[in-house]
Amino acid sequence: MSANSAMAQTMLAPWGTGRFERVLVYGLKLSGLAAVRFLRQRGVAVIGVDRKNPDELDLGDLAHDPGVELRLGAESAARLGLLDRLDAVVVSPGVPMDQPLIHEARAEGLPVIAEVELAFPALEAEGANLAAITGSNGKSTVTEMLGAILRAAGRRVEVCGNIGTPLTERVDAEPDAEPGRAFVVELSSFQIEGLDRFRPDAAALLNISEDHLDRYLSLQAYADAKKRLFARMRSDGIAVLNADDPWTLEVATAARRRTFSRLAPVADGCQLEDGWVVEVEPDGRKTPLFEAADVPLAGVQNVENAMAAALLARALGAGPSAIRQAIRAFRGLPHRLERVAEHDGVAWYDDSKGTNPAATMKSIEGFADGSVHLILGGRNKGADLSVLAPLVARKARRVYLIGESADDFARALAGTAPLDHVGTLDRAVEAAGAQARSGEVVVLSPACASFDQFRNFEHRGQVFQELVRTRVFGTTGEAA
């Protein structure tokens, strides 16, 4: 019997004593529903709680499962006796940990865990390798890049987590899997808040910048949530940290610390040397891994992303040839400084995933001074927008402001570059198309969330690409 088959017989509860028999899952979107299915496959009764009404949720077969008790609607998160006879509470990433129900659960001594934590005993039972990636920016790119490297090295890989596929869903993807799978998991700070015994073999903290300050009281509280990922790592684990970002170096961990830097030498990790990314060992040995020019993606941040992915891959046994092969072939993810088209010498880039100022700064840093037509705006998540001012003054020829934060940007960027308060994305594209000249670039990198005008950053990026190809060009445009 495989490890997964054995786990399917019952749900062990390493967070306490005995077994999980009845668990509350709080939040029934993607990861919450995956957690419910994971528990039901192991015979665990579930109470599903969500503030949304049934017609706002896609419950599928779970709506008719007699082992699932649903408490839905605005009053569903009231206690209402829900904590009686429970073994644990699983919290979806979208549910803040300050909810009254969660406080009560903890006061009664119940484990309150994330969906990814729920999966960890199954990974241990399988003997899987586990790499975890977090940071304010670049998580998804590094996650996918690491998956590509490990596949090039001949590993069986599951790429999952915050990137779109819940970890619990992939644990059971191969019911009879033998040991040897590698799980590459992207984790948000929201998910890390619910970790207890989750212990990756290798983990990376890419960067820390102002983000989600609508949920956290301070940047320090947000950073502390990220750093919890490393708390239970052992001395044989690898912690990959960004030497160019002081926040990441404050991580406390028993794991070996390996750093990467685009700007300076490192004692143990990766550095740039004569155009090459070189792995440096503590005894001074150096191994060339790939050339910076091998990274086919725009933006200086993607050299940093490739460094982080390479160090994680080395921790999981990948060799230099697999690393270079995968990085050369990597084509990136949609809406991450994605080159959409070029017309009359003007290149258009979709960086809709640039949802905070630090991401936007990285995206425009590599373009020529005075060449950028920058589209900014949306819903600010509590970030200080004025940090953009020095780089905008140097890089931007013109700035186009959209969304509910347009006035905030206008105040923060006054005097840096000409500012057009256009209001909507279609007007921004029209205005930028009229102003941009050959040799310049138009970049959508909003430094904000999209929820004021769009469903999500993907929707915003899709609309931008359609506008570029139709309204500016009158056709599908010249694909770059």
pLDDT of residue 42: 94
Q: What is the pTM of this model?
A: 0.88
DSSP bridge pairs for 260:
242, 270
So where are the chain's domains? 3-115, 128-329, 338-472
Tell me which CATH code domain 128-329 carries.
3.40.1190.10
Contact predicate 233/252, CB 8 Å: no
Residue 458 makes CB contacts below 8 A (sequence gap 6+) with: 334, 335, 352
Taking residue 302's Cβ as centre, other Cβ atoms within 10 Å add up to 25
Contact predicate 358/207, CB 8 Å: yes
DSSP bridge pairs for 129:
182
Q: How far apart are CA 242 and CA 258, in angstroms?
A: 9
Taking residue 276's Cβ as centre, other Cβ atoms within 10 Å add up to 15
pLDDT of residue 147: 98
Q: Which residues are annotated as catalytic?
A: 139, 162, 212
Q: How far apart are CA 63 and CA 25, in angstroms?
A: 14
Tell me which CATH code domain 338-472 carries.
3.90.190.20
pLDDT of residue 81: 66
Q: How far apart are CA 348 and CA 372, in angstroms?
A: 10
Cα–Cα distances in angstroms (integers) from residue 265 to residues 160, 281, 289, 304, 307, in the given order: 32, 12, 15, 14, 13
pLDDT of residue 445: 98
User: Tens place of pLDDT for every residue, the chain, 480 residues?
Assistant: 333 333 434 455 554 445 799 999 999 999 999 999 999 999 999 999 999 988 899 999 999 999 999 999 865 555 556 788 899 999 999 898 888 889 999 998 999 999 999 999 999 988 999 999 999 999 999 999 999 999 999 999 999 999 989 999 999 887 666 678 999 999 999 999 999 999 999 999 999 998 887 888 899 999 999 999 999 999 999 999 999 999 999 999 999 999 999 999 999 999 999 999 999 999 999 999 999 999 999 999 999 999 999 999 999 999 999 999 999 999 999 999 999 999 999 999 999 999 999 999 999 999 999 999 999 999 998 899 999 999 999 999 999 999 999 999 999 999 999 999 999 999 999 999 999 999 999 999 999 999 999 999 999 999 999 999 987 777 554 443
pLDDT of residue 165: 95
Q: 70-77: long-range contacts at Cβ-Cβ below 8 A with a sequence spacing of 24 or more?
A: 71/47, 72/28, 72/48, 76/49, 76/50, 76/51, 77/26, 77/49, 77/51, 77/101
Tell me which CATH code domain 3-115 carries.
3.40.50.720
Q: What are the strands of the beta sheet with 256-261, ordered from one edge? A: 157-161, 182-186, 129-134, 202-205, 238-242, 256-261, 269-273, 276-280, 286-291
pLDDT of residue 477: 45
DSSP bridge pairs for 77:
none
pLDDT of residue 363: 96
3-state secondary structure the chain: CCHHHHHCCCEECCCCCCEECEEEEECCCHHHHHHHHHHHCCCCEEEEEECCCHHHCCCHHHHHCCCEEEEECCCCCCCCCCCCCCCEEEECCCCCCCCHHHHHHHHCCCCEEEHHHHHHHHHHHHCCEEEEEECCCCHHHHHHHHHHHHHHCCCCEEEEECCCCCHHHHHCCCCCCCCCCEEEEECCHHHHCCCCCCCCCEEEECCCCCCCCCCCCCHHHHHHHHHHHHCCCCCCCEEEEECCCCCHHHCCCCCEEEEEECCCCCCCEEEEECCEEEEECCCCCEEEEEEHHHCCCCCCHHHHHHHHHHHHHHHCCCCHHHHHHHHHHCCCCCCCCEEEEEECCEEEEECCCCCCHHHHHHHHHCCCCCCEEEEEECECCCCCHHHHHHHHHHHEEEEEEECCCHHHHHHHCCCCCCEEEEECHHHHHHHHHHHCCCCCEEEECCCCECCCCCCCHHHHHHHHHHHHHHHHCCCCCCEC
Q: How far apart are CA 399 and CA 458, in angstroms?
A: 22
